[in-house]
Amino acid sequence: MRRSRLARLGLAAAVAAGVAAIPLMLEARLAKPEQAAGDSWKRLQIRRRGPTLLGFSFRPRQVEAFGLDGQATLKALLALPFDLVRLPAYWNQIEPSVGQFDTSDLDRQLGTIERAGKQVILAVGSIKNFGYPELFVPGHQLERPLPEGSLVEPSTHAPLLAAATRFIQRVVERYRDRSSIVAWQLEHEAVDPLGVEHSWRLAVDFVRYELDALRRADPSRPVMMNGFLPTSSVVRLSQWWRTRDQGDSLDVASRAADIVGIEYYPRHGLLRLGPRTLYLDGGGLPWQRALTKALFDDVRRHGKRLMVSEGQAEPWEAVTLPPNPEQRTMFSCGPADIIRNYNAAMEWSAPNEPIYAYLFWGADYWILRERSGDPSYLQAAARILTEA
């Protein structure tokens, strides 16, 4: 009898494991990373955007890594009919040593954007900001690395918090009279671990102190906080597990910020397996769409505006820098995927609750591709800007 019961339990466990594995199998794809370049992007329908602003994130460090000129790249993108630009204030670049506060690069970028007549979301950090490696604390403000596996609390890192809030206040006070700035961004994925490289996280109380400092410096503008939208069961489970004690960045943003920014990457490389790559690609499946809708409904119930702070518009392969193959495109994001990802996000908009903005992530990659002889990424984005 005991054997019979154990057999039944074993069978039930096997069935449960099999059922649980079904979504994982459906959400994973094994493919060659480099694909033949096609022109399907020319024929895809473009969804109307309504009042949603369209923009991009300017990534100075990525531009440099691509071997592009910063000002020339920025001007090339500003020539397109964008409404909005997200711009980073990197703490370690503005304050490279004790007593320094050099905003000359940021001043130049902001002036160029203003002359082009665009609006700006200024990301003030301070600990984390968008663009690899996402951690931008000056060395003199952090004597030793943040301890892995820990929460960075106000009580455990009081000097760091004091310096971070001073930096935020100083940046905001410097630029708050610029009419081009329509919102501030605080931190980047504020309370999530820093990718797979680090397991420390900012505590919610640490971020709230930063938020209070920002609002004191400028109580008039909205604050955007962002977080990663899981589009596969593997990432969703991992994100929940790693942030289960205080919630993830989207949860915190929906409670603390005025605008909740969504990072939307429906297909990304996970692991290189010989000549192929294993990709997670579950964003369009019914259960993932239902979970995404439930999340957005919750954000709106909190009375918050919703925007896409990063809409995937460049490859995300199993390497740090997006590849630039000659006469080929990458499986994780080709020109047609720029349009598909935008169209998918526009489905989240509603006449009475439109998405505030959609920011393309990877616009500088389009310039790299154009300079390398492939204008299709840039042309696909231009179709959206002119036809939406």
Task: Encode pLDDT of 170-223 as tens digits.
Answer: 999 999 999 999 999 999 999 999 988 899 999 999 999 999 999 999 999 999
The answer to whether residue 358 is domain-embedded is: yes
pLDDT of 3 > 50? The answer is no
Domain count for the chain = 1
The answer to whether residue 28 is domain-embedded is: no
In this prediction the pTM is 0.94
CA angle 314, 320, 323 (to 5 degrees): 50
pLDDT of 332 > 50? The answer is yes
The answer to whether residue 27 is domain-embedded is: no
The answer to whether residue 24 is domain-embedded is: no
- Which of 155, 213, 150, 205 minimizes the C-alpha distance to 184? 213
* Host domain of residue 245: 33-387
The answer to whether residue 133 is domain-embedded is: yes
Kindly indicate the confidence band of residue 280, based on its pLDDT and cuts at 50, 70 and 90.
very high
CATH of the domain at 130: 3.20.20.80
Task: Encode pLDDT of 13-55 as tens digits.
Answer: 443 444 445 677 799 999 999 999 999 999 999 999 999 999 9
CB under 8 Å to 205, separation ≥6 — which residues? 153, 154
The answer to whether residue 328 is domain-embedded is: yes
The answer to whether residue 12 is domain-embedded is: no
Task: Encode pLDDT of 122-174 as tens digits.
Answer: 999 999 999 999 999 999 999 899 999 999 999 999 999 999 999 999 999 99
Distance linking the first and last C-alpha atoms of the chain: 67
How many Cα atoms within 13 Å fall on the side-chain side of residue 231? Answer: 22
Tell me what the pLDDT averaged over the chain comes to. 93
The answer to whether residue 61 is domain-embedded is: yes
Identify the pLDDT of residue 196.
81
Task: Encode pLDDT of 349-387 as tens digits.
Answer: 988 899 999 999 999 999 999 999 999 999 999 999 999
CA 208 from chain center: how many Å?
21
Task: Output the six-digit token pair for 237.
Answer: 């489970």
Identify the pLDDT of residue 22.
63
